[in-house]
Structure 1
Amino acid sequence: MDFARLWLGLLLPLVAALDFSYHHQEEMETFLKNVAQNYSSVTHLHCVGKSVKGRNLWVLVVGRSPREHRIGIPEFKYVANMHGDETVGRELLLHLIDYLVTNDGKDFEITRLINSTRIHIMPSMNPDGFEAVKKPDCFNTNGRENNNFYDLNRNFPDGFEFNNESRQPETVAVMEWLKTETFVLSANLHGGALVASYPFDNGVSATGKVHSRSVTPDDDVFQYLANSYASKNVNMKKGDHCKNKMNFRNGIVNGYEWYPLKGGMQDYNYIWAQCFEITLELSCCKYPREEKLPLFWDSNKASLIEYIKQVHLGIKGQVFDQKGNPLPNVIVEVQDRKHVCPYKTNKFGEYYLLLLPGSYTLNVTVPGQEPYLTKVIIPKKSQDFSALKKDIVFPLRGHLDSSLLSNPSCPMIPLYSILPNHSAATKPSLFLFLVTLFHILFK
């Protein structure tokens, strides 16, 4: 009998093939629960909060250690459908889940990705908005906001000006979720245009606002990240696929340059959660007809996989004391690109810095100690599915008061407006300068 069941299991797929249609909450939950049950060794399904109407905000984790973080394995996330009427991303993430679990052990690239990465996928941040759409339409639908009529992508704390919007349960759930993991890279899936947009979405003079853009200290990395997605999407990289929209060179744009917004999720991720996030606009039409969904999957599958790989850019490691104990909450940043909210090691003493190939000086700072500087060279040919690994033994001088390594949270205030001369944020990257010069000379 057991032998017969084994053969039957080999002959039948573990989960019925996911169809190309719009999956409402109950259907989505059924699919996610089936995946979690049938692929339990590489998946973990959990709820990070509830919507205004009490719907679960589901996250499915895919990885070799899906239930807990492993040292050296970076955390990646995709979030979709925060605007309830922007629906393509929701379905793409369900198909991405299906593609990952069904190709594990069969496709070399996917298997290595799952071996080396912990991938968190939230198909819908705004299930109430999705369910509120009664007459799907490309541009004029209800359901964008949550059930309290708040735009969730205007609802986060802002680094540049006070955002007094009442914090919504979906927003709070994501903010609390970000505290539970050391997320390194993320993307937020939207619709209504076709472009990869990167931070900042808001700005001050110090970040380039006077030049109609707002750049981060990691502008070179963000442009690379946006290009890594757009370059694999034939229509996105054209830059003008949505004829009634702005022409985006190579399919990417600085968020502020496109249009400024206050309280966006990507800026919040970068400033307060140490997570590089971009916004992916995936369809000219916000809520296209179901028969178009296979085309969107074909256009975005390679991009979705390629972008996950970028979590392995740069450098990673742990910071230890001279006795080999990991040091949490130690600031580890590149000397000339400090963040307004310093990037720190996690409870395991780990740090992850997304950087392009080149030579850098790391500044490691422990309160009450002299900063420790160390040079690193990230080779042009990066290691497959792994950032350059560099552990650091911090040369402590005298006794270290462990209370200094507590983790006071960065204040939820407009940090850039109170630090207008924050030098690392004021310098547009050489990469940006060269790109601009190229455009001037050859346009």
Structure 2
Amino acid sequence: MDLLLEDVAMQTILTSTETFLTKQPETRAIMNWIKQEHFTASASLHGGALVANYPWDGSRDKRKEYYGCPDDKAFRYMASVYSESHYNMSLSKEFRGGITNGALWYPIYGGMQDWNYIHGGCFELTLEISDVKWPKASELLLIWKQNKMSMLNLVASMVKTGVHGRIFAADSGHPIPGSLMVKGIDSKINASRTFGDYHRMLAPGESYEVVASMAGFTPKRTRIVLEREAVNLDFILDPDGAVGQTKPVRTDCDCRCDDGGKPFLIREAYIWLYLLVLFFLLALYILFRRRIASRLAPHRHPPKRPVAV
């Protein structure tokens, strides 16, 4: 973790092992889950206001002030997508554009929003979806209708913007769990161990220099221009000769490679597809034979005549 995020983390959330062990089992389970799954984004739904809140939720000196995180532009874009899709959130007189920085609104420390971003690379928003803190059951359907389009558009924006792809090792062709950084943005995300895939949120309409790296490999960088659509960007990292012979990278993907170093993932996917189709046809054949047999059964064994006693 870089120094800036580590410094903010120490100020905004409790992360020591002792503190982790004192938390409720449900809280510890969520913390482990976030670290393992590499979620792109998440949202926490609250009531009592009508606004989309984004990190940081607290500041270094614990004052009530605007305190933006390294991905402030991306978070403001995500919050605006939600607010502008809402029936009246963006018209708020209290919050300009219907969005707010958490530390500027009211600082909190130990919240899930900041923790997810720091430790999981997960971009979380806190969505205040109703001015009423405890709405009646009869009002829930209306609240859903007012927020439905915002939720759908927010999810769609995760897929339609940012940069995503996979990271491979050049010598083996295997996917590797490398890290992704963007120059000028002091945070990073990690690719998954299974497929080496990543998805990083970025605000559209700008140019970015993206860097992929991993211990034992030479980093690679490239510049992209991000418009309204997401950019698909794969990286193939060369082993770093300065560290001697590179040890095999353990991943959860046990895929073999051909002589050219290309993964057999696609070929194996076709094999499984063929087996699935074969199994489906076999099941249809067995079902057909049983139906034919059931139709012929009455003719082979005519019903017995009633016996008078």
| TM-score, structure 1 normalization | 0.49
Structure 1 counterpart of 2:247: 401
Quote the offset at 1:370 in angstroms.
4.0
Structure 1 pair 372/214, CA: closer, same or farther in 2 (3 Å)?
same
Query: Residues of 2 paired with 1:360 and 1:211: CA distance?
Result: 31
- Which whole-Å CA distance do the structure 2 matches of 1:377 and 1:257 have between them? 31
Contact 1:195 1:251 in 2 (8 A): yes
Where does residue 270 of structure 2 map in the other structure?
A: none
- More helix per residue: 1 or 2? 2
The 8 Å contact of residues 187 and 280 in structure 1, kept in 2 or not, is answered as yes
Is the aligned partner of 1:216 residue 2:62? no
Contact 2:176 2:191 (C-alpha < 8 Å) held by counterparts:
yes
2:212–2:219 Cα contact (<8 Å) kept: yes
Q: Residue 201 of structure 1 aligns to a residue in which SS?
A: coil
Q: Which amino acid is 2:176 matched to?
A: L
User: 1:196 Cα deviation (Å)?
Assistant: 0.4
| Contact 2:219/2:237 (8 A) holds in 1 | no
Equivalence for 1:126: none
| Residue aligning to 1:253 | 100
Q: Superposition pairs for residues 211-250 of structure 1, below 5 Å? A: 212-240=65-93, 247-250=94-97
Cα distance in structure 2, aligned partners of 1:331 and 1:291: 47
* AA at the equivalent of 1:396: P
Partner amino acid for 1:192? G
Cα distance in structure 2, aligned partners of 1:213 and 1:381: 27
Equivalents in 2 of 1:309, 1:162: separation in Å?
Answer: 30
Distance 1:186 1:235, change over 3 A: same
Deviation of the 1:404 alpha carbon: 9.6
Q: Give 3-state SS (helix, strand or coil) of 2:238's partner.
A: coil
Report how many residues are paired: 233
Where 1:160 maps in the other structure, the secondary structure is helix
Distance 1:370 1:321, change over 3 A: closer
**Match 2:189 to one of 343, 362, 379:** 343
The answer for the alignment partner of 2:118 in structure 1 is 271
SS in 2 for 1:261: coil
Deviates more, 1:355-364 or 1:159-168: 159-168
Q: Is the 8 A contact 1:184 1:275 kept in 2?
A: yes
**Cα deviation, residue 162, structure 1:** 5.8
Give, as a single letter, the amino acid of the residue that structure 2 aligns with 1:181: E
**1:159–1:271 CA contact under 8 A, matched in 2:** no
Who is 1:327 aligned against? 176
Match for 1:203 among 59, 82, 86?
Answer: 59
Q: CA deviation at 1:211?
A: 8.2
| Deviation for aligned residue 1:291 | 2.2
Displacement after TM superposition at 1:369 (Å): 4.1
Change (3 A) 1:210 1:202: closer
Question: Equivalent residue of 1:234, what SS?
Answer: coil
- Which of 180, 202, 210 is the matching residue for 1:362? 210
**Deviations, residues 396-429 of structure 1 (Å, cap 9, x unaligned):** 23232347999xxxxxxxxxxxxxxxxxxxxxxx
Letter in 2 for 1:193: A
Q: Percent identity?
A: 36
Contact preservation (8 Å) 1:270, 1:277:
yes
Secondary structure of 1:230 counterpart: helix
Deviation at 1:276, TM superposition (A): 0.3
How far is 1:179 from its partner?
3.2
- Tell me the residue number matched to 1:310: 157
Corresponding residue of 1:301: 148
Which stretch shows the higher mean deviation, 297-306 or 357-366? 357-366
Matched with 1:432 is none
Q: What's the TM-score once normalised by structure 2's chain length?
A: 0.69
Q: Deviations over 1:207-249 (max 9, x none)?
A: xx77811111111110010011111112311213xxxxxx111
Residue identity opposite 2:247 in structure 1: D
Determine if contact 1:228/1:307 at 8 Å carries over to the other structure. yes
1:390 aligns with 2:241: no
Partner of 1:185: 41
CA shift, 1:257, in A, is 0.5
Contact 2:59 2:103 in 1 (8 A): yes
